[in-house]
Amino acid sequence: MNNLKNIKHIKLSNEWATLDRIDYDYQFKKGNWKRLSRETYNRGNGTAILLYDPEKGTVILTKQFRMPAYENDKNDGMSIEACAGAIDKDDSPLETIIRETEEEVGYKIKSAKQVLTAYMSPGALTEKMYLFVAEYSDAMKINDGGGLDSEDEEIDVLEMPFSKAIEMIKNEEIIDAKTIMLLQYVQINELL
């Protein structure tokens, strides 16, 4: 970008992820330059998947505690979401979501279709999400899921009618953006 220069990163925190302040010069459309400062939170990129069973008309979702949502609104601490996970450095988004599907919800899938790529909050987060869908059946269930103790995960696996999941968006029981996007993708494309 020709309208961006003198970029300086200042690390503010490097705990669970990296919080940086980035100072930079930005040229506006009118030609004037201004020194700006923004904070960015970098936890890497992520994946999410919506599993759906066209025969039963059901989907698999998860429910788990999310401290940032709780901090914002005490009623939002338990979040209903599509299965998701952070991409490890050496893994592809597809490899990651296949592994996360087994760990979090207990289903062994061999493939998935990437349907969307999106930044969830590009004004503050560097994370790019790779969103997938895949069919599942009862025969693919290999364990109870629930996540990994080593990652301090305590995940409830929810199998529900697709129509109920759509209703949960309307009544704000599901307020997670990636999950809403995936459910609406399935609805728009009439996969169920």
Please give the class, per CATH, of domain 46-188: alpha beta
The pLDDT confidence band at residue 145, using thresholds 50, 70 and 90, is confident
In this model, does residue 50 exceed pLDDT 80? yes
- Using one digit for the tens of pLDDT, what is the confidence trace for 66-78? 988 989 999 899 9
pLDDT at 60 over 80: yes
Q: What percent of the chain has pLDDT over 70?
A: 98
Is residue 1 very low, low, confident or very high in pLDDT (cuts 50, 70, 90)? confident
What pLDDT does 148 receive? 72
The confidence score (pLDDT) of residue 180 equals 97
Kindly list the domain boundaries of the chain, sorted by start residue: 4-42, 46-188
pLDDT digits (tens, 9 = 90+) for 152-175: 778 999 999 999 999 999 999 999
Distance (Å, rounded) from C-alpha 99 to C-alpha 105? Answer: 10
Specify burial of residue 18 (Cβ count, 10 A radius: 0-12, 13-18, 19+).
middle
- 175 secondary structure, DSSP code: -
Instruction: Tell me what the mean pLDDT of segment 9-25 comes to.
Output: 94
